[in-house]
Amino acid sequence: MNETSSSQPLMVEPQPSRTFAEASPVVAGYFTVSFVFGLMAVNAGLPVWLPVAMCLFVYAGASQFAALALISSGASLTTIILTTFLINARHMLMSVYMAKALRALGLSRFERWCYAGGLTDESFAFHSVKLGSGAPVNVRYLIGFNLFCHTSWVLGGLLGAICAQYASHLIKYQLDYALTAMMLYVLVSLCNTRNKLIAAAAAVACMGALSLVGSSPFNVFIATFVGCGVGVCLTKRS
């Protein structure tokens, strides 16, 4: 028997079924939120293909809903682009962290681009925790997780748009709270330590204070930065 090989820990690669099982809460939430977006977009007078295209190429919940409101109000293209950019500015912070966390996996440039294209708040939350805990992770798991989530987002938008076009009289429920509910679920499920709870509370408190001062796309970015800063400080102290 090869003693050297037997003494090494076995790294079991996550299987596609396991990847989907872990992604399923996000998949369900994304489908619901994008379904609502498709409904709202077509009800606002947009063609069926447009919300589907936005789900495919924009892939950002808050930004898509903000863009829909701006489009409906007749805002200029420059205003829409700038607003969605500011709302998504927090992704720069997440990307910097993930770029460092993924170095050990040896991803190629193409694999990094594929992963970056599917990085969202929820995938960042799940993957950062998984990588931090030392669980077995490979590039197939990371990109597969993101692909399952993105596919559900596009399918939800497509079904919502079709329902709004052909079966709007059958839909009586108000589902515009779905995005907030999904974000709260992810936040609560990840606050499993005292430091994470404090960091989350700091971000929530900062966002609340900024909202009282005034509404701005910068508020999300600033609150995220404050939460990350508190988390980093607590981690260094412990």
pLDDT for res 194: 84
In single-letter form, the type of residue at position 172 comes to: K
pLDDT for res 238: 66
227 contact partners, CB below 8 Å, separation of at least 6? 199, 200, 202, 203, 206
Condensed to tens digits (0 to 9), the pLDDT of residues 107-128 reads 898 999 999 999 998 899 889 8
Whether residue 179 is predicted with pLDDT greater than 60 in this model: the reply is no
Which helix (H) or strand (E) segment holds residue 107: the answer is: none
Contact 140, 13 (CB under 8 A): yes
Average the pLDDT over each of 3-7, 62-66, 129-133, 144-148 and give the range with the smallest value: 3-7
User: CA–CA separation, 14 vs 147, rounded Å?
Assistant: 15
User: Residue 25's CB: how many other CB atoms inside 10 A?
Assistant: 15
Condensed to tens digits (0 to 9), the pLDDT of residues 77-105 reads 888 888 788 778 778 888 888 988 888 88
CA distances from 162 to 27, 68, 104, 152 (A): 20, 17, 44, 15
CA neighbor of 41 nearest in space, from 176, 134, 146: 176
With a pLDDT cut of 90, the percent of the chain lying above it is 24
Whether residue 5 is predicted with pLDDT greater than 80 in this model: the reply is no
203 contact partners, CB below 8 Å, separation of at least 6? 223, 224, 226, 227, 230
Return the higher-pLDDT residue of 200 and 54: 54
Whether residue 151 is predicted with pLDDT greater than 90 in this model: the reply is yes
User: Residue 165's CB: how many other CB atoms inside 10 A?
Assistant: 14
With a pLDDT cut of 70, the percent of the chain lying above it is 84
User: CA–CA separation, 152 vs 91, rounded Å?
Assistant: 21
Average the pLDDT over each of 127-136, 141-150, 170-179 and give the range with the smallest value: 170-179
Whether residue 170 is predicted with pLDDT greater than 80 in this model: the reply is no
In single-letter form, the type of residue at position 196 comes to: K
How would residue 149 be classed by pLDDT, with cut points 50, 70 and 90?
Answer: very high
Which helix (H) or strand (E) segment holds residue 59: the answer is: none
What's the mean pLDDT in 5-18? 54
Convert 173-204 to b/e letters by CB count within 10 Å (16 or more is b): eebeebbeebbeebbeebeeeeebebbbebbe
How would residue 73 be classed by pLDDT, with cut points 50, 70 and 90?
Answer: confident
Condensed to tens digits (0 to 9), the pLDDT of residues 29-38 reads 899 889 988 9
pLDDT for res 6: 40
User: Residue 211's CB: how many other CB atoms inside 10 A?
Assistant: 12
pLDDT for res 25: 87
Report the chain's mean pLDDT, rounded to a whole number: 81
Helices (H) and strands (E) in the chain, counts: 12, 0
Whether residue 154 is predicted with pLDDT greater than 90 in this model: the reply is yes
pLDDT for res 211: 86
